Amino acid sequence: MPPDGPRTDDRQSGKRAIGQGSFLGSNFQGMALWQEAQELAERVARAVTSLPKDTAAQSIGSQLVRAAGSVPANIAEGYGRFSQAAYRNHLSIARGSAFEAQSWLDLLVRLGFLEKRDGARLLGLCSEVQRKLSVRMKELERQVDRRIREQGGAYEV
């Protein structure tokens, strides 16, 4: 990987995380989904630094940074888990955090702390991350565990 991070054309889809085929190391940073979520968190953090030094703006901004930062963090944590179910669960948590970030962004715009144009850009990125998380979770849902299991039945003792 280049010193400044993975190149766009080297990004993985995240389909090769634990329990999803051959494992290509532990580079969650190569996943396009994580990269886009990290970009959202970065842009949110930069936007919050320009908020007015108003108590409400700072409080909302703090909540927004936490929610946006939680998205890539949960994608990374899920990627590092040992089961597909745990990975999917963390993607669900990340998706919830993306929706929370959307709500905080909307409030900043409504209160006039964030320009509508800047808010629209961040909301668009947030929506795209939400969509991609949903798609990835649905893909995982379709992957059925094909192990043979014993049927439940009564045993005589």
Distances (CA, A) of 145 to 16, 20, 92, 140: 16, 11, 19, 10
- Which tokens hold the place of 40? 């959202």
Instruction: Indicate whether 130 belongs to any domain.
Output: yes
CA neighbor of 37 nearest in space, from 129, 121, 131: 129
pLDDT class for 73, splitting at 50, 70, 90?
very high
Instruction: Indicate whether 20 belongs to any domain.
Output: no
> Whole-angstrom Cα distance, residue 123 to residue 117?
10
The tens digit of pLDDT for each residue in 33-68 reads 999 999 999 999 999 999 999 999 999 999 999 999
| DSSP annotation string for 34-56 | HHHHHHHHHHHHHHHHTS-S-HH
Do 53 and 59 meet the contact criterion of CB atoms below 8 Å apart? no
Q: What pLDDT, on a 0 to 100 scale, did the predictor assign at position 144?
A: 61
Do 88 and 133 meet the contact criterion of CB atoms below 8 Å apart? no
Q: Greater confidence, 144 or 81?
A: 81
Boundaries of domain holding 112:
25-135
Query: How many independent structural domains does the chain possess?
Result: 1
Instruction: Indicate whether 36 belongs to any domain.
Output: yes
Instruction: Indicate whether 71 belongs to any domain.
Output: yes
Q: What pLDDT, on a 0 to 100 scale, did the predictor assign at position 17?
A: 46
> Whole-angstrom Cα distance, residue 69 to residue 16?
23
Instruction: Indicate whether 67 belongs to any domain.
Output: yes
Instruction: Indicate whether 119 belongs to any domain.
Output: yes
The tens digit of pLDDT for each residue in 94-139 reads 999 999 999 999 999 999 999 999 999 999 999 999 999 999 999 9
Instruction: Indicate whether 5 belongs to any domain.
Output: no
Instruction: Indicate whether 73 belongs to any domain.
Output: yes
- CATH number of the domain where residue 44 is located: 1.20.1440.60
127-139 core/surface letters (b: 16 or more CB in 10 A; e: else): eebbebbeebbee
Average pLDDT over residues 72-83: 92
